[in-house]
């Protein structure tokens, strides 16, 4: 799936793999299908920046030094992090998801791209807010210029929590409907509170649990992952 609103606004690549692309996780056994997807996206594995996702809010600025240290290397050497930002054309950013939200944030004015892994814990910790702040602090982005896409993930139709957790998050002001958690709306609210215009936030509304297009851990317990990528 391509994030056409971003590509039409000047981003050279914004896409996510699906079931038809095979397993695009960081596991060694997924290398063939992962590399095939990257080739389809015209991305070299040696130009793809990754981090070891830990469901937090650590964000890395990616430059040529970062690529030299970590691109094409085993995940064990990657730094912990759930967000990557860059202002260098030709460097691709990547995050793996299988129900968690892949979040693209693009600054078409300053030419800055951020890609974030917003799982439940990252969403609760404010990864979207941290992402906007990192782009503003690191590259001088104006939040009002930013465009964002909230990608395929577990939707509010299907993401069910325990009664206790749902009640707790409801009390804390997160969007809860019964026992269902709306991660899309939670991240949208964070973006808006950070200064991103509501009309500049786009939700794909593709639920990984409802359909069969994307890998879903909650649905099948699969170790396969979707790979979200972006490149200036």
Q: What is the pLDDT of residues 76-125, one digit of tens each?
A: 999 999 999 999 999 999 999 999 999 999 999 999 999 999 999 999 99
Give yes or no for a contact between 133 and 59, defined as CB atoms under 8 angstroms apart.
no
Q: What is the pLDDT of residues 26-65, one digit of tens each?
A: 999 999 999 999 999 999 999 999 999 999 999 999 999 9
Fold topology of 4-231: 3.60.140
- The pTM (predicted TM-score) of the whole model is 0.97
The pLDDT value given to residue 211: 86
């Amino acid at each position: 799936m391509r994030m056409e609103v971003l590509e039409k606004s000047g981003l050279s690549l914004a896409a996510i793999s699906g079931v038809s692309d095979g397993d695009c996780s960081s596991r060694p056994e997924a290398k063939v299908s992962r590399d095939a997807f990257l080739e389809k996206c015209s991305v070299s594995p040696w130009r793809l920046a990754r981090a070891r996702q830990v469901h937090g809010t650590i964000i890395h600025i990616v430059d040529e030094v970062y690529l030299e240290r970590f691109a094409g290397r085993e995940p064990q050497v990657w730094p912990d992090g759930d967000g990557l930002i860059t202002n260098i054309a030709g460097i691709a950013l990547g995050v793996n998801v299988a129900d968690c939200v892949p979040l693209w944030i693009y600054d078409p004015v300053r030419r800055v791209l951020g890609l974030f892994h917003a799982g439940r814990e990252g969403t609760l910790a404010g990864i979207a807010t941290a992402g906007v702040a990192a782009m503003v602090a690191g590259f001088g982005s104006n939040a009002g210029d930013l465009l964002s896409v909230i990608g395929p993930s577990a939707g509010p139709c299907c993401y069910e929590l325990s009664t206790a957790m749902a009640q707790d998050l409801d009390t804390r002001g997160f969007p809860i409907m019964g026992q269902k958690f709306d991660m899309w709306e939670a991240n949208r609210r964070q973006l808006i509170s950070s200064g991103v215009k509501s009309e500049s936030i786009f939700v794909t509304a593709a639920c990984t649990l409802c359909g069969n297009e994307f890998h879903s851990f909650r649905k099948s317990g699969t170790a396969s992952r979707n790979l979200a990528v972006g490149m200036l």
